[in-house]
Amino acid sequence: MTRLVRSELFKARTTRTALGLALGLLAIVLLIVILTAALTKKSPADTLGVQRHREEDILGPLGFAPLFALLFGLLAATSEYRHGTISATLLAAPWRHRVVVAKIIASAIVGVLLGAFVSAVASAVGLPWFAARGFHVDGSGAVRIVVGVVAGSLLWGALGAGVGSIVKAQVPALIGALAWVLVVESLLNGLVPRVGRFTPGGALNAVLGLAHNDDTLSTAAGVALTLLYVAAAAVVGAAVTQRRDIT
Amino acid sequence: MIEVRGLTKRFGSTVAVDDLSFTIEPGRVTGFLGPNGAGKTTTLRAILGLVRPTAGTATIGGRPYAALEEPLRTVGAVLEASAFHPGRSGRNHLRSLAVAAGIGEDRVDHALGAVGLTDAAGRRVGGYSLGMRQRLGIAGALLGDPQLLVLDEPANGLDPQGIRWLRDSLRAFAADGRTVFVSSHVLSEIAQTADSVVIINRGKLIEHLPLAELEARAVAGTRVRSPEAGKLLAALDGAGIEATALDDGRIVARTEPPRVGEIAASKGIVLHELTAESSSLEDVFLALTEGE
């Protein structure tokens, strides 16, 4: 299994996909962080020191990291089918369920790296700047957010590889995932939040600890539910891949 | 080495392989022939564990591919030439496979050298020509230094030099006592390399025979015209030569022209025409696969 995970990580670093996603994510996050740091107006509550924990505002865009980890996982699993390399992969390692699990583990690792990288840059740029402008920024609160972002990226990287192993067709997988997260879940969260909190995105919200409200699950419940989604995707992905004809 | 027993594969209502059975002996080059769509690729993919048979089995050394302990060290396979990530270099493609199979880095360089891709190995595969991709595919098959090579139409898209190179490579591989099973839809591509051929059409086995036997079927014939056709037919028949009278009064005999001439002379039969008529190996192959 170690060999297979190493092979998947090697594949990840020998194309431009992971780097492209990392740079794209960084660009989006930095843009929002810089605009937030530069343009946020101080309220009287800030001036009086009543408004606390502004790190949630400046580090909020890190919530994009798990989405990009998901995209990476989807691409890692589906590009093998798109380019036909799945044949060579399964000739080198004909134990299909192990290949699926290796992809899930490797995508989780890439998710961690993606989340950690963008968190480090965003924190280094945003937190001192925001603090210097007189907003209250709590160090331990920032660490809590970064841990949530890294954990969320880990879980969603794994989820992407699992779902990608099931769907296999790259374009439908990407469009479907984005439509689900950005449209369906947004609607559910907005209209029926008591249902929405149990969706993958709702569970991720609990993991991230950003934008909490009364309907948000506890962090532990969010992690457990996301793990359940990952496990379900892994089991179905392995079963489907096991039965699939590679033509 | 390879044993296919009652192999059947259906894709929906299409029967790609229909109760196919054959055995590939070790230490030989066996050609796997059939027109496009005959079921060659599906059969090869079933042998390699990529396609699940609807019925029957396909084993290598008595085991299904997935049960091989070190598959790349046992079997090297070349499937379609376009199956590479265009953004990854040739060397990194091989390294990703080597890492997964627990094969050392030195084998990557060796395989690249064996197919003459060392200089291009650092370039992205997207910039490779079809011939270079085919070579990279063969390098992947050689990674584990296997005893068996399975190749699906490896000559497709190769220029004449490439075909020559492929032929020499397969010969060199087989000269070490190793086994090659190579598919093609053109007999001439493998006629100079193969010891025997498995011919299939519409998913069914047509023939499995030594190439020499196939060549023997491509015997020369003779077209002969005589005012004494009936007498000549009887004379040929008496000499044990198969002969058929055509509608236009000519006779086609399955032997060389000098033999027909000698028989006619010995019986004092007048001949008006004596023409050699040879059927090539390709004709025999086409007759076998079109007759179905």
**Which of A7, A79, A90 lies nearest to residue B96, judging by beta carbons?**
A7
Please report the DSSP string for B34-83 in residue order.
--TTSSHHHHHHHHTTSS--SEEEEEETTB-GGG-SSHHHHEEEE--TT-
Average pLDDT over residues A25-53: 82
What gap in Å lies between CA B196 and CA B209, rounded to an integer? Answer: 6
Exposed, middle or buried: residue A82 (CB in 10 Å: 0-12, 13-18, 19+)? middle
Question: What ipTM does this complex have?
Answer: 0.86
**Which of B52, B83, B92 lies nearest to residue A243, judging by beta carbons?**
B52
Which chain B residues are Cβ-neighbours of A79 within 8 angstroms?
85
**Residue A239: what residue type?**
A
The closest of A80, A21, A185 to A176, measured between CA atoms, is A185
B56-93 per-position pLDDT tens digit: 999 999 999 999 989 999 999 998 867 899 999 999 99
The closest of A155, A168, A167, A146 to A200, measured between CA atoms, is A155
Please give the pLDDT value at position A32. 93
Q: Torsions phi, psi of A210, nearest 5?
A: -100, 150
In which band, very low, low, confident or very high, does the pLDDT at A134 lie, cut at 50, 70 and 90?
confident
C-beta of residue A69 within 8 angstroms of C-beta of residue A153: yes
Average pLDDT over residues B140-145: 92
What gap in Å lies between CA B69 and CA A86, rounded to an integer? Answer: 19
What gap in Å lies between CA B217 and CA B211, rounded to an integer? Answer: 10
Please give the pLDDT value at position B116. 87
Least confident span in A238-242, B8-12, B277-281? B277-281
C-alpha distance from B37 to closest chain A C-alpha (Å): 13
Interface contact A3-B100, CB threshold 8 A: yes
Could you tell me which residues of chain A have a Cβ less than 8 Å from any Cβ in chain B? 3-4, 6-7, 10-11, 14-17, 79, 83-85, 87-96, 243, 245-247
What gap in Å lies between CA B264 and CA B260, rounded to an integer? Answer: 6
Interface test with chain B among A17, A91, A242, A245, by most B beta carbons within 10 Å: A91
Average pLDDT over residues B195-204: 90
Which chain B residues are Cβ-neighbours of A96 within 8 angstroms?
66
Taking the CA of residue A140 as centre, how many other CA atoms within 13 Å lie in the half-sphere pointing to its CB?
0
C-beta of residue B49 within 8 angstroms of C-beta of residue B65: yes
Please give the pLDDT value at position A71. 95
**Residue A214: what residue type?**
D
Interface contact B84-A85, CB threshold 8 A: yes
A165-185 per-position pLDDT tens digit: 999 999 999 999 999 988 998
Average pLDDT over residues B206-232: 83
Average pLDDT over residues A14-35: 92
What gap in Å lies between CA B36 and CA B184, rounded to an integer? Answer: 9
C-alpha distance from B102 to closest chain A C-alpha (Å): 7
In which band, very low, low, confident or very high, does the pLDDT at B215 lie, cut at 50, 70 and 90?
confident
Number of residue pairs across A and B with CB atoms under 8 Å? 90
Which chain A residues are Cβ-neighbours of B72 within 8 angstroms?
91-92
Least confident span in A217-226, B147-156, B210-219? B210-219
The closest of A176, A197, A144, A10 to A78, measured between CA atoms, is A176
Please give the pLDDT value at position B35. 84
Distance of CA A55 to the CA centre of its chain: 20
Interface contact A79-B92, CB threshold 8 A: no
In which band, very low, low, confident or very high, does the pLDDT at B219 lie, cut at 50, 70 and 90?
low
**Which of B48, B85, B88 lies nearest to residue A91, judging by beta carbons?**
B48
Interface contact B99-A83, CB threshold 8 A: no
Which chain A residues are Cβ-neighbours of B41 within 8 angstroms?
247
**Which of A14, A93, A245 lies nearest to residue B88, judging by beta carbons?**
A14
Which chain B residues are Cβ-neighbours of A97 within 8 angstroms?
none
Q: Which residues contact B63 (CB under 8 A, 6 or more apart)?
A: none
C-beta of residue B267 within 8 angstroms of C-beta of residue B220: no
Which chain A residues are Cβ-neighbours of B85 within 8 angstroms?
11, 15, 79, 83, 85
Token readout for B219 is 């015997």
Which chain A residues are Cβ-neighbours of B51 within 8 angstroms?
245-247
Which chain A residues are Cβ-neighbours of B68 within 8 angstroms?
94
Inform me whether the pLDDT recorded for B291 exceeds 60.
no
Which chain B residues are Cβ-neighbours of A93 within 8 angstroms?
71, 100-101
Handedness of CA B182, B187, B191, B194 (dihedral sign): positive
Tokens 């005959």 label which residue? B38
Inform me whether the pLDDT recorded for B108 exceeds 90.
yes
- Of all residues in chain A, the one with the smallest CA distance to B73 is A92
**HEC secondary structure over B125-144:** HHHCCHHHHHHHHHHHHHCC
Please give the pLDDT value at position B26. 87
Interface contact B89-A7, CB threshold 8 A: no
**Which of B84, B92, B97 lies nearest to residue A83, judging by beta carbons?**
B84
**Which of B45, B66, B89 lies nearest to residue A94, judging by beta carbons?**
B66
Average pLDDT over residues B157-175: 84
Please give the pLDDT value at position A88. 92
What gap in Å lies between CA A108 and CA B292, rounded to an integer? Answer: 54
Please give the pLDDT value at position B171. 85
Inform me whether the pLDDT recorded for A53 exceeds 90.
no
What gap in Å lies between CA B159 and CA B260, rounded to an integer? Answer: 43
Inform me whether the pLDDT recorded for B37 exceeds 90.
no
C-beta of residue B151 within 8 angstroms of C-beta of residue B181: yes
C-beta of residue B193 within 8 angstroms of C-beta of residue B171: yes
C-alpha distance from A111 to closest chain B C-alpha (Å): 20
Interface contact B140-A88, CB threshold 8 A: yes
Please give the pLDDT value at position B27. 85
Q: Which residues contact B145 (CB under 8 A, 6 or more apart)?
A: B73, B107
What gap in Å lies between CA A99 and CA A102, rounded to an integer? Answer: 5
Rounded to whole angstroms, what are the CA distances from A46 to A63, A142, B28? Answer: 24, 18, 83
Please give the pLDDT value at position A90. 94
Please give the pLDDT value at position B279. 66
Inform me whether the pLDDT recorded for B292 exceeds 60.
no
DSSP B16: E
Mean pLDDT of chain B: 88
Inform me whether the pLDDT recorded for B290 exceeds 80.
no
B250-276 per-position pLDDT tens digit: 888 888 888 889 999 998 999 998 888
Interface contact B89-A14, CB threshold 8 A: yes
Interface contact B84-A92, CB threshold 8 A: no
Could you tell me which residues of chain B have a Cβ less than 8 Å from any Cβ in chain A? 11, 41-42, 45, 48-52, 65-66, 68, 71-72, 75, 77, 79-80, 82-89, 92-93, 95-97, 99-102, 140
Interface contact B49-A90, CB threshold 8 A: yes
Please report the DSSP string for A125-185 in residue order.
HHHHHHHHTT----HHHHHHHHHHHHHHHHHHHHHHHHHHHHH--HHHHHHHHHHIIIIIH
The closest of B99, B91, B97 to B123, measured between CA atoms, is B91
Tokens 């699990």 label which residue? A101
Please give the pLDDT value at position B278. 64
